[in-house]
Amino acid sequence: MATTERDYYELLGLSRRASDQDIKSAFRKLARELHPDVSEAPDAEERFREVAEAYQVLSNSETRELYDRYGHAGLKGGGFTPGSFDFGNLSDIFSAFFGDDLFGMGGRTRRARGADIAAVVEIELAEAARGVTRDIPFQVSVTCDRCNGNGAEPGTSPITCPACGGGGRVQQVSRSVFGEFVRTSSCPQCGGSGNLVTTPCTECDGSGRKVAARRLDVTIPAGIHDGQQIRISGEGHAGQLGGRSGDVYVRVRVHPDPRFVRDGDDIFSTVHLNIVEAALGTQANVETLEGPIEIEFPPGTQPGEVRVLRGRGMPVLNGFGRGDQRVLVNVSVPRQISDEQRQLLEEFERLSTHETYKKDESFFDKLKSVFR
């Protein structure tokens, strides 16, 4: 049995510190490229064998340690014979490890699932608060209705592919260092469909699919966050050979609203009072997601105070209730005053006592409640 003497880490393009996961992913990637059923390169089979051997050694902690310490000689000394596996088993191992049929060796003709489509929709924060339905246009490849997806001009029918007898796959027996093995691959004549179209459909040129403009009413749930995706199952591109359609993923962008800052399900806003309003108390308009509401601020309202409007925040996505709105009070101090105003303020100051600015003991606690 031939043994490669090339460095296993080098073969997988990894450093010696590579994790098990790194090894697995590197092998997975290379195997997809180099598998003899997939690759056209003349040395693909040889390289695949080397890479598979490297993976076999490095994916096992015992043999990896042996190799790390003593190299190829260590493996031989430990009685390890590389390459003592076959491609058939390898495919099974892949299914078990990675949950997919890496080389399409399942035996049956693969009915490829259609590709997914990505779309983006932009909405305002207030729309995110109440939920909204948007009509989203996109291009999708659909089954051709003229030929019902089989690619043959109506009135004609596809013939059974003579190369594969309709099975869509061809078998090839080859010899390798492992001995004889059977390779199954997609039939090159019919591309795996098992049928050959002799008179292509004029609408789709025989592909069985065509591009159509579609619109989709997408319901965006209340409480959605910026960047979240909505998956619409089965509305993506049509599958090949009758395979199921892909999905549409709609990414939702929620525009920032200059009036509010969103933090999870809570929102923050500010209200501006002037010193007289803050000192004497006032009714002020406060913006909420549902529009302005009037709030009463008592005499002596301080800058930095926070008014919590329970249940005025964003709805909880797929849940119950809503977050809160926290309104931060900003008190505007005059920047420009007339002589008369100056006199009045000086007069005011003259009449002030320590009672005028008596500390509110709970001020700091109130401030802290902004950050909860």
Out of 57, 117, 128, 144, name the contact with Zn ion by CB under 5 A.
144
Out of 190, 250, 252, 273, name the contact with Zn ion by CB under 5 A.
190
Residue whose CB is less far from Zn ion, 132 or 196: 196
- Decide: is 197 part of the binding site for Zn ion (CB under 5 A): no
- Decide: is 146 part of the binding site for Zn ion (CB under 5 A): yes
- Decide: is 241 part of the binding site for Zn ion (CB under 5 A): no
- Decide: is 52 part of the binding site for Zn ion (CB under 5 A): no
- Decide: is 26 part of the binding site for Zn ion (CB under 5 A): no
- Decide: is 164 part of the binding site for Zn ion (CB under 5 A): yes
Judge contact between 15 and 7, C-beta under 8 A. Answer: no
- Decide: is 153 part of the binding site for Zn ion (CB under 5 A): no
CB of 237 to Zn ion, least distance (A): 15
Helix (H) / strand (E) containing 209: strand 209-220
- Decide: is 201 part of the binding site for Zn ion (CB under 5 A): yes
Name the residue among 331, 316, 329, 325 with its Cα closest to residue 268: 325
CB of 104 to Zn ion, least distance (A): 15
- Decide: is 226 part of the binding site for Zn ion (CB under 5 A): no
User: Pairing between strand 229-232 and 248-254?
Assistant: antiparallel
Beta-ladder partners of 175: 180
- Decide: is 203 part of the binding site for Zn ion (CB under 5 A): yes
Judge contact between 303 and 244, C-beta under 8 A. Answer: no
DSSP per residue, 128-155: HHH-EEEEEEEEEEEE-TTTTTS-BPTT
Separation CA 320–CA 202 (nearest Å): 54
Helix (H) / strand (E) containing 33: helix 20-34
- Decide: is 189 part of the binding site for Zn ion (CB under 5 A): yes
Separation CA 366–CA 344 (nearest Å): 32
Residue whose CB is less far from Zn ion, 54 or 201: 201
- Decide: is 140 part of the binding site for Zn ion (CB under 5 A): no
- Decide: is 34 part of the binding site for Zn ion (CB under 5 A): no
Residue whose CB is less far from Zn ion, 151 or 246: 151
Cα 49–chain centre separation: 34
Beta-ladder partners of 252: 121
Interacting residues with Zn ion (CB under 5 A): 144, 146-147, 161, 163-164, 187, 189-190, 201, 203-204
